[in-house]
Amino acid sequence: MAVQPRTSNNASAHVVRTIPVVLNGRALEPNRGMSLNLDWIDQVRVNTSAVERRAATYPARRSVKKENQAAWLLRAIACIDLTTLSGDDTADRVRRLCAKARNPIERHIVEGLGIEELHLTTGAVCVYHAFIETAVKALEGSGIPVAAVSTGFPAGLSPLTERIAEVKRSVEAGASEIDIVIKRAHVFNGDWQALYDEIATFKAACGKAHLKAILGTGDLMTLRNVARASWVAMMAGADFIKTSTGKEAVNATLPVSITMVRCIREYAERTGMAVGFKPAGGIRTAKQSTDWLAMMKDELGRPWLEPSLFRIGASGLLNDIERQLEHHLTGRYSAGYRHPVA
C-alpha cells in the first residue's frame, strides 16, 4: 500500500492529495443532499447477527507486518482528527496538540522511514468552540483543517436557535469542519422529517464548511436505528456521518461502523454522491486503526482511505502508532510517556 497522504512542493505548503472517487466503476460527486425519501427509510433492514459475524473477522484475520504495517499506520495518521475535548482544556494544550498535528511522529522516525518528502500531518485538529481561533492560528500555513464540535455537544439538547447560532459562530471563528450532534429523540420517535430538517438547517448554517453528523450510535439501541439515522443524515446533506461524541458509554464499534459504511455504499450507488465516515471514541491502539482501515477498503474501496472521506476521531491513538513505528525501526518498544500528544 503506497503511503502518500499529502503531496507538497515544500514543507510549508501542504495540499491534501485527492484521487478520483469511484465506486463500482461510477465516478461520484460530493454529497449535496436530496429530498427526504421515507420509502427508503422504511425499507431499511439490518441482519445484526451477520454484521456481528463480519465484524469479528477483522481483528481475527487481518495481521499486517513490517513495511506493510508501517505503511498502514502512516495512512492511519493521515486520517486522524487529533482531538482534545476535555473540561480542563487550555490554550496551551491546544497549541501543543496543533504542534503534534504538524509533526505527528518524531524526526528520527521520519528519517528512519525515509518519508521526509511526505510532510505527513494528521487529517485535522478537533476542539471546542472556545479554542477555534487558537487552533487556526497555531495551524496557519499547514493546510490542516480545524474541526469544532457544535450544536450542544455532546447531548444535542440545546434549543434549536442556540444550536444554529453556535454553528454560525464556529464558522465565523475559522472552523472549516463542524461536527454536529443529532437529537436522538427524533430517532426513537421515528420522526425522520424532524431529524432531516434539523440536519439540513445545520448544513445551511455551515456555509462552505463541511458538516459531520454525529449519530451517538451508543445511544441508538439497534443497528436498524443506526442505519435509518445514517440515511436521513446523508439525505440532509451531511458530508460525513460519525459514530459517536466519544462521551457515550459505548462509542465506535466495528458492527456499527460496518452498518454505517454499507449505508454510505448504497447511498452512493443510488445517488452518485459520496459521503465520508468518521468513527470516534474507543479507538486507542495501532492494531484497532488497521482493523478500521481494512474495513473501509473492503466495504468502500481505495478512495475511502483518504482523509477527504475517512477520519478517525482520537486523542490517544497517535501515541500508540508512534510507539509501533519506533518498534518497526529499532525492534524495541518505548514507554508511552516518550511520545506525548499534548
DSSP per-residue codes, 180-231? EE--HHHHHTT-HHHHHHHHHHHHHHHTTSEEEEE--GGGS-SHHHHHHHHH
Percent of the chain with pLDDT over 90: 83
Model confidence at 315: pLDDT above 90? no
Q: CA 159 to CA 36: how far, in whole Å?
A: 23
Report the phi/psi class of residue 68: left, alpha or beta, with left for phi > 0 and alpha for psi in -120 to 50: alpha
Query: 126 pairs with which residues across the strands?
Result: 83, 147
Residue 336 near residue 323 (C-beta atoms within 8 A): yes
| Torsion sign across C-alpha atoms 8, 11, 13, 15 | positive
- pLDDT attached to residue 60: 82
Give 121-177 pLDDT, tens digit per residue.
Answer: 999 999 999 999 999 999 999 999 999 999 999 999 999 999 999 999 999 999 999
The mean pLDDT value of the chain amounts to 91
Helices and strands, counts by H and E, the chain: 13, 14
Residue 14 near residue 8 (C-beta atoms within 8 A): yes
More reliable by pLDDT, 338 or 223: 223
Give 270-281 pLDDT, tens digit per residue.
Answer: 999 999 999 999
Neighbours of 283 (CB within 10 A): 25
Q: CA 252 to CA 281: how far, in whole Å?
A: 6
- Residues 298-325 have a mean pLDDT of 94
Res. 7 pLDDT band, cuts 50 70 90: very low
**What's domain 40-330's architecture?**
Alpha-Beta Barrel (3.20)
- Closest-CA residue to 97 (of 38, 167, 144, 164): 144
Residue 310 near residue 304 (C-beta atoms within 8 A): yes
Grid coordinates of 122:
494528521
Q: CA 265 to CA 338: how far, in whole Å?
A: 40
With a CB cutoff of 8 Å and minimum separation 6, the contacts of 313 are 81, 83, 126, 242, 244, 246, 252, 278, 279, 280, 281, 283
Q: CA 298 to CA 302: how far, in whole Å?
A: 9
- pLDDT attached to residue 145: 98
Give 260-311 pLDDT, tens digit per residue.
Answer: 999 999 999 999 999 999 999 999 999 999 999 999 999 999 999 999 999 9
Give 212-252 pLDDT, tens digit per residue.
Answer: 999 999 999 999 999 999 999 999 999 999 999 999 989 99
Angle at 270 between CA 264 and CA 272, to 5 degrees: 80
Res. 1 pLDDT band, cuts 50 70 90: very low
Task: Show which residues are catalytic.
Answer: 179, 242, 278
- pLDDT attached to residue 18: 58
- pLDDT attached to residue 334: 77
- Residues 52-77 have a mean pLDDT of 87
